[in-house]
């Protein structure tokens, strides 16, 4: 089963306004969300992280963000299998608009 989780606003605190160019600033980690991700990974889930930081229209900036996010996730032991720049068809999508992280970690 696949689960798609938003980076800014779910895995980390949203620190920049929506629909602005991404920066190197990353918010505080939501450790409750990370623990849920680790649990699901152990259960065999494929974890897909989506983020507007990787939008292809950003060109080189998207490549820089890919490296920044990959390094950040690995450094903090946050499991992931791949990235998407936008939500896609999967079994579950967790973001800060549809399925709220605080509701999701209670399940």
pLDDT at 12: 94
pTM for the model stands at 0.79
Cα 105 to Cα 11: distance, rounded to the nearest angstrom: 11
Query: Cβ distance 5 to 41 under 8 Å?
Result: no
Distances 20 to 14, 23, 34 between C-alpha atoms, Å: 12, 9, 25
Question: Quick one: average pLDDT of 65-85?
Answer: 92
Provide, rounded to the nearest whole percent, the portion of the chain with pLDDT above 90: 38
Taking only the tens place, the pLDDT of each residue in 20-66 is 666 778 889 999 999 999 999 999 999 999 887 777 677 777 788 88
């Amino acid at each position: 089963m696949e689960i798609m989780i938003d980076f800014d606003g779910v895995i980390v605190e949203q620190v920049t306004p929506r629909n602005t160019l991404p920066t190197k600033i990353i918010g505080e980690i939501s450790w409750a969300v990370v623990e849920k991700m680790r649990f699901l990974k152990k259960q065999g889930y494929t974890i897909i992280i989506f983020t507007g930081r990787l939008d292809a229209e950003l060109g080189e900036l998207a490549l820089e963000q890919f490296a920044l996010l990959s390094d950040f996730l690995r450094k903090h032991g946050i499991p992931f299998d791949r990235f998407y720049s936008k939500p896609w068809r999967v079994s579950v999508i967790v973001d800060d608009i549809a399925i709220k992280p605080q509701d999701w970690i209670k399940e």
